[in-house]
Amino acid sequence: MSRKSGAKAADPLAAKKAKKAKKKVRTLSRQNLSLAWSTIRGRKGGFAAVLIAVAVGTAVITACGVLLETGIRSGVPAERYHRAAVVVGGNQAMPVDGDADPRFSERVRLPADTVAKVDAVKGVESAVGDVSVRMTVLKKDSVLNGPPVYGHGWSASVLAPFTLRSGTQPRAADDVVLDSDLARRAGVDRGDTVTLVTGSKPASYRVSGVAEPGASFDRQSAVFFTDDHAARLYGTSGRVDAIGVLASKGTDAGDLADRIKKAVPGVVTYTGDDRSDVETLDVGQRRAVVIEAATAFGATMGLLVIIVVSGTLALSVQQRRRELALLRAVGATPKQVLRMIGGEAVLVGGIGAVLGAIPASCSPCCCTPCSRLPARCRPDSRW
């Protein structure tokens, strides 16, 4: 008696599990997909519209995703801060709750006493404050073409690093050191005179030396003055543009950046290719534009695809009311009809998604880091 009662008690549980397993098999079974494929072949025109809408929408969404990933991960190698393990700068964006943080077009400067605070952090070999003064070089009373020219204090030359190829470092207010490429294009050498324009005021300087950078300069040219004269040209006393940090031997750049952020609140630290964001503001600004445009356009396109595909499928079902009624009349249950329609949507949507995603994800730009592109093709190229 106890055996029979136990078997009866176990029977409902076993039947429930078998019923669940049966339902799982039927959801997208081979038989159901075969039936859905047969209906698709019989109504090619209606499902072709869905296929095209899904393929085009998937292609655009995939392209936006690739563009977003490019904006987040891409970068260009630092030039002037090539040797600096960490670059410290101000927050170049305004925090906005629930929206993208807009970036400032002008540089956010740091107080000059921040240099001493950063220098006191464990793992920092030395911290160097850098200022950048935009200027123009005149050659035979005409503006020298090429990348933009920035003036700096000589102490910041270690961040590249620059080594003197000839001559000496600037010692007087009218001394200047040019990088080797700029000296070649300007046609000057040690002991010559060069005319530099800061703002709208030209001034003549004696070339005390020519320096060779540790890494090639493609996006800018460098001119070095004495630190005092660079500060006078800079015009904003008690401020620096950025701080280049040379790490002690064996110190990891990421760990050092975290320690600096904790020790000096209110600053932003950059490592790796992100150092170019503070070196040249255009790089960070354009990356932000790419990220925002890809996110906005991709989300909008996703919404449009959902609306178009759902509307097209609904119209297709509406036009097949008699066919579906006939299926019900011969014994098909509502769940079977819904599974057939779901199978059609899965087949058409899956094929369309593959057809749209493959070409959109095979763009050459997706496979080539920005640092390997020619200078004229990089996101920050200006000439």
In the chain, pLDDT over 90 holds for what percent of residues? 39
Helix, strand or coil, per DSSP, at residue 342: helix
pLDDT category at 12 given cuts 50, 70, 90 is low
Contacts of 379 (CB under 8 A, 6+ apart): 74, 76, 283, 286, 287, 290, 370
pLDDT value for 29: 67
pLDDT value for 156: 94
* Mean pLDDT in residue range 227-234: 92
Calpha distance 61→306 (Å, rounded): 12
pLDDT at 373 over 60: no
Contacts of 58 (CB under 8 A, 6+ apart): 305, 352, 353, 355, 356, 357, 360
pLDDT value for 371: 42
pLDDT category at 205 given cuts 50, 70, 90 is very high
pLDDT value for 281: 80
pLDDT value for 35: 66
pLDDT value for 154: 95
pLDDT at 59 over 50: yes
DSSP of 285-334 = HHHHHHHHHHHHHHHHHHHHHHHHHHHHHHHHHHHTHHHHHHHHHTT--H
Spatial contact of 165 and 285, defined as CB atoms under 8 Å apart: no
Spatial contact of 175 and 204, defined as CB atoms under 8 Å apart: no
pLDDT at 97 over 80: no
DSSP state of 79: S
Q: C-alpha 41: how far from its chain's center?
A: 44
Per the prediction, the chain carries an average pLDDT of 82
pLDDT value for 283: 77
pLDDT value for 21: 47
pLDDT at 27 over 80: no
* Mean pLDDT in residue range 203-207: 95
Which one is predicted more confidently, 307 or 207? Answer: 207
Which one is predicted more confidently, 376 or 204? Answer: 204
pLDDT value for 32: 66
pLDDT category at 319 given cuts 50, 70, 90 is confident
Q: For residue range 156-204, what is the model confidence (pLDDT) as tens digits?
A: 999 999 999 999 999 999 999 999 999 999 999 999 999 999 988 899 9
Q: For residue range 263-317, what is the model confidence (pLDDT) as tens digits?
A: 999 899 999 888 888 888 877 777 778 888 888 888 888 888 888 888 878 887 8
pTM of the model: 0.67
pLDDT value for 383: 34
